[in-house]
Chains A and B, each alone.
Chain A
Amino acid sequence: MARFLIPFVAVVLFFLEPGFSLYSPIEWHGHLYYLVPRFLILYLIFLSIYYDRKRAMMYGLIFGVLYDIFYIDIIGLYTFLYPFICFVAGSTVKYIHQHLAITTILSLVLVALLEIVLNQFFLLISFTSVPFTEFLNQRLIPTMIANSIYLIMLGWTFKYLIEARVLLKANQSTL
């Protein structure tokens, strides 16, 4: 069961992201705030830390290509960034303690990094002219708040699911 559940959850999150972005931007006190859902990459980071870096990178590559083709129309952007983030997340395993709280903070830091890299890229190709402070206030901070709520709500489920899978695999190999 857990074997198919892991890719299935990834697919569901992939489809949920743009659904949630229909509610954004939200207007509050006359300012527009953009909430960017980053459900999938947070899940992939968890996968990379608790399960298998290589597999997480594979998922990152596949979903990155789909993301690029369907939404962005610039192929190569998420295709590179998703596996890269997974690679970084997986590489930290040796150096830090794998407690849920630490993983959560690490994932959020990596997502903030992703947002900043994307902002710089879109500035470079002049798709946007938003200065950095405005980007920080209008996008990065609301996005990070929304995503941390999401991760606090669902992070332990991911961990539970992935650990179930790891256990299953261990049992199979001992048999």
Chain B
Amino acid sequence: MPQFFSNKRLILLLVGVILLVALISFTLRDRQASLPEQIIKDTVGFGQSIVAKPASYITGLVNNVDDLMNTYEENKRLKSRLEEFGTLQAKVNELKVENDKLKDLVDKKDDLRNFNPIQANVIARNPDQWEEKLILNEGSMNGVKVNMAVLTSKGLIGKIVQTTPYTSQVELLSTNNTNYRVSAVIANKKTEAFGLIEGFDPKRSELVLKRIDSSLAVKKGDKVTTSGLGGIFPKGILIGEVTKVSTDDYGLTKLAYVKPAADFSMLDHVVIAKRQSIAIDGSDGANTDKSTKTDGGDQK
């Protein structure tokens, strides 16, 4: 074999490898995109949004066919719940009127539940799928900010982790990232139990809700929603349903497995929730470290 690398080539290769390793370790840190990156992202995003249109059309078609096939079973199930629904609606209306009246009485205008929806289309999913990320076609020009909640009609799917002027990046709830937390509440008839969604169990395909006060009763089948106490997310967005309750590693607090209400595959249209009341840095954000340093955060 002839000499595979000449000296000059070898040096070039070594320098290249060193540069690459430096670049990788530099870009691995949590950071916001720099200007040239933003420009590239917006340009690629523009091309991507053109290609994504027929793709989202096909996704819609597949979903429609899927819906059509399940129609009979769904119809049976829905009929059985219809009677329940009538009485429930009357009750909800009544409660809502009462709630509004009471709010007027105490002069409370701000509500953690209220948010302005920003409609967005999914233009790409991270193709190698090691990180659970989506790219949306709305960016900071339309008021999208980092850490806002992203939801579908079924429930919460994730939050914004990065924005450029015309695109934004969503990290899904099913991520493996350990710094990803969502402040949640389990509400049943008697009590409200607060906890944090921390992590995803890939074997069960379920979210893990940790740090629930062990004195509170949590049952299988309870609904889990966002609490709005993390600072950025609005209150009351459905996350999922409790499937199993156990104690955590140290036996001090409870841990619940939550089956997500939203489907994480075949996403095309999503809504970004922009909360109306003032947003603060908190445990919903990836910047938990910052908030613990400055104000201790509002984690429990």
Interface residues of A (CB under 8 A from B): 11, 15-27, 32, 34, 36-37, 66-67, 69-77, 79-80, 118-119, 122, 125, 127-130, 139
Contacts and interface: CB of A to CB of B under 8 A. Distances in A.
Contacts of B231: none
B24 A36 contact: no
B5 interface: no
Nearest to A66: B44
B51 A36 contact: no
B124 A71 contact: yes
Contact of A22 (B131, B169, B176, B266): B266
A32 B205 contact: yes
B28 A25 contact: no
Contact of B27 (A36, A73, A129, A139): A73
A149 to B, nearest CB: 17
Interface centre among A18, A34, A127, A128 (most CB of B within 10 A): A18
A21 B130 contact: no
A24 to B, nearest CB: 6
A89 to B, nearest CB: 16
Contacts of A119: 130
Nearest to A80: B20
Classify chain B's interface size: 35 or more
Given A18-B127, A22-B122, A74-B27, A27 B47 contact: no
A26 B128 CA distance: 14
A128 B41 contact: no
Contacts of A80: 20
B147 interface: no
B268 interface: yes
B52 interface: yes
Contacts of A20: 55, 127
Contacts of B47: 11, 15
